[in-house]
Structure 1
Amino acid sequence: MKIKKLFSTSIVCFVLIICSSSAKLTEHTTSKPIPAIKEAMYFPPFNSDTWETKSIASLGWHQDKVQDLLDYLQTKNSRSFMILQNGRVVMENYFGGHTSRTPWYWASTGKTLTSTVTGIAEQEGFLNTNNKVSVYIGTGWTSEPLAKENLIICKNLLTMTSGLDDSMGNDVSSAHLQYKADAGTRWAYHNVYVKLQDVVAAATGQSWSSYFNTKLRDKIGMTGAWIQSGNNSVYWSNTRSMARFGLMALNKGNWSGTQVINPQYFQDATSTSQTLNLSYGYLWWLNGKASYHLPQTQFQFNGKLIPSAPDDLFCALGKNDQKIYVVPSKKLVIIRMGKSADNMNFARSDFDEVLWQKINSVIN
């Protein structure tokens, strides 16, 4: 009888121990937050009009502020506007008969295409951006004394520090490329950057368009072409092609696992490249810096390029308000194409600041 009672007591104790341990284990495991599933970056397929989308509501954005943003864009002569978040389309709007297939000019936003392809040519060993420009296209490409011309390296063209006179207009024939200061001592927005296209062509033994198409355009599924306009070659494409390039930029030169451009070069391109204009990289504009310069002036403005935009934003800005905004912290790419919002301008304008106030009302 005593043995039976002892056995029963042992069974009860064993059960109590097991239950207590299970309760502690349950308490321990359920107290930890369940980690969120990280969403993969989306890259749209080639030759497809179907892109993955996200709703305003799914992101917790403010649907009630969207119409105000669209009204502002339409009032300011926009033709297209697009927001990608983590690669997926959140907003895609067209105005004035413009469609997803309508080509439009990039203007100076295309400078970033030139910057990127120059970097690709360097990583493939065709050129060195620390070499003199004349190494690739010969001497006499400016009207400067040879000693002054030989100071200009490819990186000076990438950073707008050639020292050439920016008051001579957009003509980049040698007669119009005149000495103003030694290379590297003066920042001035100048069309001479297009000489990098000649450098790439000479270094690779291919036409600029052919090398660009093979090494960049076709690798990320862009469409479009370089169209001659006066002395300049201007890129034209639809809005989604511009968005593709912005998405590659968001991913530091990577497209769906393929490293199109060396990530270190791209990091350098989207960082302050010299001390004269803190808000300028390799033909990219940078936000969040202590000061900036604008085209057509030598005046230094204190403060951020676009005060209402995130500090980590970098962007491509083109004549008449062509825009590619990239915000890594928010995984955003924002595109605006159209006519000038106000008066004709060459890069940043008051439109950027007000537009970002409207965007913030939606996304914050």
Structure 2
Amino acid sequence: MKKTFKVSGIIILVVLIYFVVVNYPKLELISGFSAKSVASAHFIDGRSLELIEKSDNDIKLVRLANNAIFDKEQYATSSVFGLQKRKAIYREGLGSLLIDADFDVTKPYLVPKRVQPKINLPYPFGTNEPKDTVFANIDYSKLRKAVENAFDKKGAFAKRTRSVVILYKDHLIAEKYEDGFDKNSKILGWSMTKSITATYFGILQYQNKININNPAPIQEWANDERAKITLNNLIQMNSGLEWEEKYDRICDATKMLFNSRDMGQVQLEKPLFGKPNQTWNYSSGTSNLLSKILRKQFKTQQEYLDFWYSSLIDKIGMFSTVVETDMTGNYVGSSYAWATSRDWAKFGLLYLHNGNWNGEQLFDPSWSKYVSTPTPTSNGKYGGHFWLNSSGKYPDAPRELYYASGFQGQKIFVIPSKDLVIVRMGLTDDESFDFNGFLKEILGSFEK
């Protein structure tokens, strides 16, 4: 019996050693993802470690991380089998930051100055509760069923929807949350942040401070073929720059998010693998390069930090929103914006109204058409940092539909002809959640 236990122990040890050796390069990324996720979800939204590990971190390999939260010191740590320990710190106003061993936590830092007045109007244009409005052309029993169908039945664990918010003709007509979440819960938008980042170029162009058809203002590209890359090419993900975005492996995107101090610099240093305006390639690095370019439009770091809120986020009352930075202080324009589901819906409403927010024009009306027009060589699926339905990805929804989209199925659908904005936040994407059926059922609750 002892011999059997000894042999079994040796086998287990060999398997464990093999697993660690094969996956060791991934461990730093796993612990980095986990530490950042835990710190952000806990300190920004107040989630418990137990909830975070059962939901946000319930991802293959990430489940292996051992996590700890230090409330008094305001940081979180993660490691895998005690290896590759990573740390993420929380800073009020900037959210959480995954740091490396060389980061100076004692160094003073700037935070955005925000103005958040109480606006005596009902949601979505004010800070009061929504006005209860009934529309004669909506079958509310069908609408309620459509929304309920987006959530798991008790005991099920497949759809994993956290929230649904629907705006119609500037009114909240439906809203539902998973247990543990409500209208005040801040949820990470992941790549929906890209759509926010692009919007600043529309705002600056409307203010005659930038022209997206000009070459990207990057000195390092001045003497090679990359000099031909325009801001438009970057916004349309059609620059021809090399980039790999595969989250099931170590790649450019994962190394950037969980290893890089300056996330915008990663794409800047990449060579061309295609030609500008002829080679569409989805790239989180491009979005962070755009954030880095935005920084150059301002004389000071404080102006840059403030602009993201004063010109857009706080302008439309997305007061819950927090956009996190990298270690250089630039906003992570690819991935790290947090907001309540109601506030994410406000962003969609701004586009539904072509940049007009309750009478104030933030960007030219043509910008909405620009971001929702297919990018050359994207096969009709992508516009200007927004995804499109022009190729019929969702066959039972209008082809005009366009949307901000993030990892694990964060979506803001904008349907201009229906005067609709639909937000779904959750932990499952198209492979596991039937977005076409979801949209079909909601649209089916309206009279034709």
Structure 2 length-normalised TM: 0.61
Match of 2:274 among 168, 181, 190: 181
Task: Go from structure 1 to structure 2 and tell me whether the alpha carbon gap of 1:53 and 1:179 turns closer, same or farther (over 3 Å shift).
Answer: same
Aligned partner (choices 225, 238, 241) of residue 161 of structure 1? 238
- 3-state SS of paired residue (2:224): helix
2:151 aligned with 1:73: yes
Distance (whole Å) between structure 1 residues aligned to residue 352 and residue 388 of structure 2:
14
Is the contact between residue 146 and residue 438 of structure 2 (CA under 8 Å) also seen in structure 1? no
Deviation at 1:53, TM superposition (A): 3.3
Q: 1-side partners of 2:137 and 2:350: how far apart?
A: 22
Aligned partner of 1:213 in structure 2 is: 309
2:416 to 323, 328, 346: 328
> Any idea what the Cα deviations from partners look like across 1:203-260, whole Å, max 9, x if unmatched?
1335443211010012111121112479945110111111111111110000111111
Indicate the percent of aligned positions where both proteins have the same amino acid.
Answer: 26
The 3-state SS of whatever aligns with 1:99 is coil
**1:357 alignment counterpart:** 440
Partner Cα separation in structure 2 for residue 244 and residue 228 of structure 1: 22
Deviates more, 1:230-239 or 1:151-160: 230-239
Measure the CA separation in 2 of the matches of 1:169 and 1:359.
Answer: 38
Q: 1:263, CA displacement in angstroms?
A: 1.0
- Cα distance in 2 for residues equivalent to 1:340 and 1:229: 26
- Partner AA of 2:384 in structure 1: Y
Whether the 8 Å contact between 2:356 and 2:362 is mirrored in structure 1 is yes
1:90 aligns to what SS in structure 2? strand
Give the unaligned 5+ runs of structure 1: 1-41, 292-303, 344-348
C-alpha contact 1:108 1:317 (8 A) present in aligned 2: yes
1:174 and 1:146 mapped to 2: Cα distance? 19
Structure 1 CA distance for aligned equivalents of residues 369 and 407 of structure 2: 25
Counterpart in the other structure of 1:138:
219
Give the match for residue 13 of structure 1. Answer: none
Find the aligned partners of 2:219 and 2:252 in 1 and give their Cα distance.
23
1:54 aligns with 2:128: no
Which amino acid in the other structure matches residue 438 of structure 2? L
3-state SS of the aligned residue for 1:240?
Answer: helix
Aligned to 2:145, the other structure's residue is in SS state helix
Greater relative contact order (Cα < 8 A, sep 6+): 1
Corresponding residue of 2:322: 225
The one-character-per-residue Cα deviations of 1:26-65 (angstroms, maximum 9, x if unpaired) are xxxxxxxxxxxxxxxx9634333x112334x733325046
* Contact in 2 for aligned 1:69/1:359 (Cα 8 Å): yes
Structure 2: distance between partners of 1:88 and 1:206:
39
Aligned match of 2:141 in 52, 63, 79? 63
CA 1:339–1:274 in 2, change beyond 3 Å: closer, same or farther?
A: same
Shift of 1:100: 0.6
Instruction: Work out which of the residue numbers 118, 132, 138 in structure 1 matches 2:201.
Output: 118
Over 3 Å counting, the alpha-carbon distance change for 1:247 and 1:65 in structure 2 is closer
Deviation at 1:331, TM superposition (A): 0.6
Residue 197 of structure 1 aligns to which amino acid in structure 2? S
Task: Tell me whether 1:274 sits opposite 2:354 in the alignment.
Answer: no
Q: Is the 8 A contact 1:78 1:337 kept in 2?
A: yes
Report how far residue 185 of structure 1 moved. 1.4
SS of residue matched to 1:362: coil
Q: Secondary structure at the match of 1:282?
A: coil
SS at match of 2:220: coil
Measured in 2, the distance between the counterparts of 1:273 and 1:121 equals: 21
> RMSD value over aligned CA atoms?
2.5
The answer (yes or no) to whether the contact 1:187–1:277 under 8 Å persists in 2 is no
Tell which structure's C-alpha radius of gyration is larger: 1
Distance 1:71 1:215, change over 3 A: same
Partner of 1:198: 292
Once the two structures are TM-superposed, the CA of residue 266 in structure 1 deviates from its matched residue by: 2.5
